[in-house]
Amino acid sequence: MAKSPFDKFTNKELTGAKKKEAFRQEKKAFKRAAREEAAEERKRNEEKYRMIVNVPGTKKEEPKKPEPRHSNAQKEPVKKSFAPSKRSAPQDNDPDKKHRRSKRSFEKDTAKYKQGKPVKQTYEQITQKPTSVNQDDETELMPLNKFIAHAGICGRREAAELVKAGKVQVNGSIVFEPGFKVTGREKVLVKDQEIHAQKNLVYILLNKPKDYITTAKDPEGRRTVLDLLKGATKERVYPVGRLDRNTTGVLIMTNDGELAQKLTHPSFEVKKIYEVRLDKPLIKKDFDAIINGITLEDGFVNADSVAYADSKDKSIIGIEIHSGRNRIVRRIFEHLGYDVKNLDRVMFANLTKKNVDRGKWRFLNDKEIRLLKFMNQSFVRAKDSKEARTKSE
């Protein structure tokens, strides 16, 4: 059947933009209906929550009363009634109403946490360990490598390497962690040798002047080297070895008895260098005699090395010797017929009086202390050279 020319006016179909607009309107209507249904569902849920369930034609059920959180809990349903008074209407419309109670409780809870600096906890509090009654009897906890360094064995980095290499034992067990905490009461072995942390050890280098006695006390009331160290330390220190009253130069003062014994014991043969001023030039024959050795009243002695300190003035001699016998340098030259005008110790165990004026002092640094305790070969005469010298003689 042929289409009528008026069909496009009577059976009009939407096309193009009009069709899209109609689809959008239909979609909006569907969403509107869904929102209305959701609003009704929320309203029904609110009625159940507020315990106001009153369906017409049915028997009213008794709602279950929730457990009150405070004494005024029974009055809350009355306040939340759907027939509020004019006076309570603004409160119901207040958007912050449902948060007021939580804000008040939050402010109440946070009131006791006042702003300020955090409280520092002790090690016992953090580890929940009871504090001891007498804290003075305990050594402060410290890492194992730091404990080894404080014992004077080596520096912290070297100590850490020793621990990692398995050369350190604590109470019979090998420890591989350098940060392992110790108190100082443990039995610590480094290369099978027990070590101890030393507290309040003092090491001082003094440039001793003339007319001072190298002793702690003098019964005759003469000035001692301790008079030069007044106010230097509260610890009781004493000189390592001795220098004559008229001998000047490097002198070590310490309270480390173990180190003092090592520095003065003949078996370690610690090097000492002196500058000697004689009353006349030293001749070649006597020069060789000091090198080869001479026999004094208390035995044979020879210098490690002898040299002229000034090529133009042969009365100024530099002598290196390891012997610790009393007045040994003076007695060597007096035995050869010389009079010592001035004797100055310029080096002792690789320590010099550089930058230390006569009568002044300074503390030794950590590196110098470690070298002293290690008996570094730079200031201890090598055994090989000693044996070679003995064979040649």
Rounded to 5 degrees, φ, ψ at 144 are -60, -40
Active-site annotation holds for 304 = no
Q: How many helices (H) and strands (E) does the chain have?
A: 13, 17
Q: CB–CB of 181/142 below 8 Å?
A: yes
CA 252 to chain centre: 28
Q: Which two tokens stand for residue 390?
A: 């003995």
| Rounded Cα distance, 143 and 182, in Å | 6
240: number of Cβ within 10 Å: 23
Which ranges constitute the DSSP H helices of 180-266?
257-264
Alpha carbons 283 and 281: distance in angstroms, whole number: 6
Q: Where are the alpha helices (DSSP H) in 243-337?
A: 257-264, 284-292, 328-335
Q: Are 253 and 240 in contact (CB under 8 A)?
A: yes
Which H or E run includes 336? none
Q: Is 306 exposed, middle or buried (0-12, 13-18, 19+ CB in 10 A)?
A: buried
As a whole number of Å, the CA-based R_g of the chain is 48
At residue 143, φ and ψ (nearest 5 deg) are: -60, 155
Asked whether the beta carbons of 168 and 144 are under 8 A apart, the reply is yes
From the list 7, 92, 137, 244, the catalytic residue is 244
Residue of 351, 280, 354, 356 lying closest to 317 (CA atoms) = 280
For residues 188 and 148, is the Cβ–Cβ distance under 8 A? yes
Q: Count CB-CB contacts under 10 A for residue 202.
A: 17
DSSP string, 110-135: HTTS--SPPPPPPHHHHTT-PPPS-G
Residue positions counted in the chain: 393
User: Which residues carry out catalysis?
Assistant: 244
